[in-house]
């Protein structure tokens, strides 16, 4: 993203964050700031963003990362309503019709106005995920997860079969495994994985640093000091509905962090079958974990 584009986005989000309060019926996604964000957009496209949303003002803040927002239970309960979800879906439909193929420069590439609304809707749904076991919002529940405490207490069940095979796309179009000089499979071509680090805290200061405090370094890794792949977390976490459903949401949306690894699965509807298999696979494993913990 160019400096100008980046600054424009941060200015927009700062405007949203500190704009005067509105009633739910008068909430708009950008409060009219779309004229700064989409400078050369067609008039009909800009006007479409003026649609009223039956949402709390919190929905305007979804452009920020979750760590910075640090939602409370009340924040999420205020925002996560059936009527708000319906409003965002309706807005997405209106923007799709009014903005059609309009694009703007973003991060060295192009992004559409439709994608912007889709991003907000994805982050809305992610924010509003709730645990099927406790009914608690997942963003709140996961704040209590601490792998170090779980491991030190002897209650962590670490998965065994987590070795990865890395395809050699450079020399083999069919994705054959990457081999060492003696033709043994290379299991870790990247060497030792460094300790987990929340890199945004090391970025150069921006305007938001004067208003918002960044997240702690271990926020996103549940108290563990090493990076873990999704299948390497203790099964006590992997078997939680929040963990599984967040992972599935990341597969199904272009904005999910795991989407890029499995996007080809969506061809021919196989993405749905892949997701069902994931849920089917976790069922027996998690039942065993739950049973062993009851004894």
**pTM of structure:** 0.72
How large is the average pLDDT for residues 152-181?
75
Mean pLDDT of the chain: 76
C-alpha distances (whole Å) from 68 to each of 65, 200, 213 are 6, 10, 7
3-state secondary structure of 121: helix
Beta bridge partners of 27: 53
Is the pLDDT reported for residue 193 higher than 60?
no
Banded model confidence at residue 175, pLDDT cuts 50, 70, 90: low
Longest dimension (CA), the chain: 68
Q: Output 87 or 67, whichever has higher pLDDT.
A: 87
The H-assigned helical ranges of the chain are: 3-17, 34-37, 43-48, 66-69, 73-79, 82-99, 113-127, 138-141, 147-152, 235-238, 241-252, 259-262, 270-294
State what percent of residues in the chain have pLDDT above 70.
Answer: 61
Is the pLDDT reported for residue 284 higher than 60?
no
């Amino acid at each position: 993203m160019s400096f100008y584009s980046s600054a424009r986005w941060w200015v927009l989000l700062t405007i949203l964050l500190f704009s005067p309060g509105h009633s739910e019926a008068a909430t708009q996604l950008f409060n009219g700031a779309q004229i700064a964000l989409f400078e050369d957009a067609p008039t009909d496209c800009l006007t479409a963003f003026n649609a009223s949303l039956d949402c709390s003002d919190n929905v305007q803040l979804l452009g920020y990362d979750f760590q910075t927002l640090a939602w409370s239970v009340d924040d999420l309960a205020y925002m996560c309503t059936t009527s708000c979800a319906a409003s965002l879906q309706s807005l997405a439909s209106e923007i799709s019709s009014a903005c059609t193929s309009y694009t703007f420069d973003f991060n060295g590439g192009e992004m559409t106005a439709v994608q912007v609304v889709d991003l907000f809707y994805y982050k809305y749904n992610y924010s509003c995920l709730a645990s099927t076991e406790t009914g608690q919002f997942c963003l709140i529940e996961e704040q209590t997860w601490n792998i170090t405490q779980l491991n030190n207490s002897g209650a962590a069940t670490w998965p065994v079969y987590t070795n990865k095979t890395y395809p050699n796309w450079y020399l083999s179009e069919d994705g054959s495994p990457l081999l060492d000089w003696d033709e043994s499979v290379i299991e870790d071509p990247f060497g030792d994985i460094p300790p987990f680090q929340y890199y945004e805290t090391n970025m150069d200061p921006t305007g938001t640093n004067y208003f918002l405090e960044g997240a702690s370094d271990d926020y996103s890794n549940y108290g563990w000091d090493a990076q873990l792949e999704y299948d390497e977390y203790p099964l006590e976490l992997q078997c939680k509905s929040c963990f599984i459903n967040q992972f599935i949401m990341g597969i199904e949306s272009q904005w999910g962090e795991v989407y890029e690894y499995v996007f080809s699965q969506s061809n021919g509807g196989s993405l749905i079958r892949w997701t069902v298999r994931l849920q089917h696979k976790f069922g027996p494993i998690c039942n065993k974990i739950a049973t062993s913990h009851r004894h």
